[in-house]
Amino acid sequence: MRKSFRAEVTSLCLFCYTGAKQQERGIHMNVIYHFQPTAPYSLHDMRVNRIERTGENLRFCFETGYVELKGENRQVSGDLLIERVSMAFSDVYFLSENGAYGTFQGQRMELESFLDRYRDISFEILDEAYGYHTVTYRGYLSLPDREPLMEVMLSLYYTGNIVYEVQE
């Protein structure tokens, strides 16, 4: 076991040394990154009909659940819980009506104000992006007192887990 560890360290040091020598000679190394999604489910085209705040947590209640990304890509019923969401660093951006291109006048709102003001919503998620303690959902928001859909982006900062609450 110890011998293989030494071999790894030696090859790692050789790689570092070779890389340093290449940089000295003006040779650069390209590092290629391919995104490999690790989320077990996709929220694309799924409709949220309620966002519940319980303490620091947010629960997204879905009309029909979400799509499993492994196997047969079947749709499963369930909700999504995001733990320890920071209200101070989470925002909602109102972009444009019906996702129109061109110039528009948008609005940025604190997440807490959005949750207090808009309780009866329908939010269809088109895109989801995950980063270090961040998640962004972009889609169309339908409000009961407004006819055109609004393109909206929810930008959330959290320090807990994202829990898919699957109903079997």
Predicted confidence (pLDDT) at residue 64 exceeds the cutoff of 70: yes
Residue 45 tokens read as: 């085209």
**Given a cut of 70, is residue 7 above it in pLDDT?**
no
Contacts of residue 118, Cβ cutoff 8 Å, sequence gap at least 6: 141, 143
Distance of alpha carbon 53 from alpha carbon 80, whole angstroms: 12
pLDDT digit string (tens) for 43-56?
999 999 999 999 99
CB atoms within 10 A of CB 139: 24
Averaged confidence pLDDT in the chain? 85
pLDDT tens by residue, 93-141: 999 888 888 888 899 999 999 999 988 889 999 999 999 999 999 999 9
The tokens of 105 are what?
């006048």
- For residue 144, what pLDDT band results from cuts at 50, 70 and 90? confident
Other beta carbons less than 10 A from residue 22's beta carbon: 12
At which residue do the structure tokens 């291109």 appear? 101
How confident is residue 91, by pLDDT bands cut at 50, 70 and 90? Answer: very high
> pTM of the prediction?
0.78
The pLDDT value recorded for residue 29 is: 85
Q: How confident is the model at residue 167 (pLDDT cuts 50, 70, 90)?
A: very high
Q: What is the DSSP annotation of 15-75?
A: HHHHHHHHHHTT-------------SEE-TTEEEEEEEEETTEEEEEESS-EEESSTT--E
- Residue pair 151/98 in contact by the 8 Å Cβ criterion: yes
pLDDT-derived band at 23 (thresholds 50, 70, 90) equals low
pLDDT over 50 (residue 36): yes
CA dihedral sign of residues 62, 96, 155, 69:
positive
Secondary structure element (H or E) that encloses residue 3, with its range: helix 2-24
pLDDT, mean of residues 49-70: 95
